[in-house]
Structure 1
């Protein structure tokens, strides 16, 4: 899925590079959804993709009018817009016979989604690197799941991608996601390495030390003669990996993968 933003351009670059060196064969079809937003530069993506020699499909669906009609002025449009896009992408993937749908979400998106769901949805839920769609027909992958946004920004700037901004909801300054993003950035400024630590937490879950009865069978807990893996380890001294310094995080070598041999 290619939106014309920094994330999807970077993802396409990486997939094209992997296609050259991977021990398995796979084809790439870049799909863009033209939502008929006023002022959308329709020529940018076709010209760019033609220059790369990438197979692509432009899907034209006027979701812009639907969103504007259904969502009151000043309210967040992302939820409805996302659902409409997802349905169209699933349909298009089926028409193309695609076995995977690649999305450009990165590590910071996953953390922001986690806190959005916790603060506003009352659930511990993020974005997995790979999942099966609700109808069971599609596999969604997120190749940038372990990439941080700062690296993607630097890569995008170095590669000089023809970025197309999303103007559907203006500056989006009042969106809950933007508030979460600002909160995380502030935490990381004051406590360097906080982002890495939180993302690590998403990969180290202890269901026995939460309170979800559907996730862990608390009723069946019994004493045992030997230590158990999910026992009372919650009071053990925490161990912390050494986090990268600000200088180390900025020491990044940018390579344009599409030009790599």
Structure 2
């Protein structure tokens, strides 16, 4: 757990994620990443040099079988306020829209609900549980499916809503989260999304596993590449140099 806290503290300080005494909303889905994020932020409150407050926000997607009692008990033990926002996002995405690739729409709707809930609390900063593996998976997703070299930023300011999104776990690896979550017996909710295990991100995870057979430290190298802005070498052609490459 010390390494997770150390990595989070490093990210929070390097990117100036938190201001003194501010209220920080934490997106709490009940998955291992968000539960670990909330628990770690709670522990960091005891020694992080900048004081802050926490409020957990949980978006109920409306999937059958969802039960948040363990999450309620967990937050109560940590003395962290919890707000559960009940929605019909699951029904909209899977029953009404019948999306073949539901992740994008689902993510947008969930994000919007989370932003609105935070603003109602007077909170303008939200912490998400994205970790190092998420960063490199997002990079590969963007490159292979959108022809873009892009991933999420540690800190993102949304001008239209005046909300800042932070990701304190960007230096934490998923395997560390899994190990500590099991060791601490954190209350991880079962996955209820019908698309779980059948997404483009799952395909990228498999691709990375294949890459590691040849390049065992490919994940570490990809994470460093994301940060290595001083050695970014891409092609930037001038607007008037668009002659057909065949010379005709």
Fold-level similarity (TM above 0.5): yes
Identify the match of residue 52 of structure 1 among 68, 74, 78. 78
Identify the match of residue 183 of structure 1 among 182, 203, 207. 207
Give the aligned partner of residue 31 of structure 1: 57
Give the aligned partner of residue 90 of structure 2: 64
Cα RMSD (Å): 1.9
What is the CA distance between 1:45 and its match in structure 2?
1.3
TM superposition outliers: structure 1 runs of 4+ over 4 Å: none
CA distance in 1 between counterparts of 2:60 and 2:182 reads 24
CA distance in 2 between counterparts of 1:122 and 1:209 reads 16
Q: Deviations over 1:84-143 (max 9, x none)?
A: 011111111111111310000001111111111111111111011111125251110001
Identify the match of residue 209 of structure 1 among 225, 233, 239. 233
Give the aligned partner of residue 110 of structure 1: 135
Which TM-score applies when normalising by structure 1? 0.76
CA distance in 2 between counterparts of 1:195 and 1:14 reads 23
Kindly tell me the number of residue pairs found equivalent between the two proteins: 213
Native 8 Å contact 1:29 1:55 kept in 2: yes
Q: Deviations over 1:52-108 (max 9, x none)?
A: 2211111111111111234437x2321111000111111111111113100000011
The answer for unaligned runs of 5 or more in structure 2 is 1-26, 240-248
Secondary structure, aligned partner of 1:113: helix
Give the aligned partner of residue 111 of structure 2: 86
Q: For residues 208 and 27 of structure 1, do their structure 2 counterparts lie closer, same or farther at Cα, with a shift above 3 Å needed?
A: closer
Native 8 Å contact 2:28 2:56 kept in 1: yes
Q: Deviations over 1:181-233 (max 9, x none)?
A: 111122123322111011100011357620246xxxx68xxxxxxxxxxxxxx
Give the aligned partner of residue 244 of structure 2: none
CA distance in 1 between counterparts of 2:159 and 2:131 reads 21
Alignment of 1:17-28 (within 5 A): 17-28=43-54
Q: For residues 208 and 143 of structure 1, do their structure 2 counterparts lie closer, same or farther at Cα, with a shift above 3 Å needed?
A: closer
Q: Please identify which structure carries the higher strand content.
A: 2
Identify the match of residue 168 of structure 2 among 124, 140, 143. 143
Which TM-score applies when normalising by structure 2? 0.80
* Structure with max Cα Rg: 1
Secondary structure, aligned partner of 1:31: strand
Identify the match of residue 10 of structure 1 among 18, 36, 39. 36
Deviates more, 1:164-173 or 1:187-196: 164-173
The answer for unaligned runs of 5 or more in structure 1 is 220-261
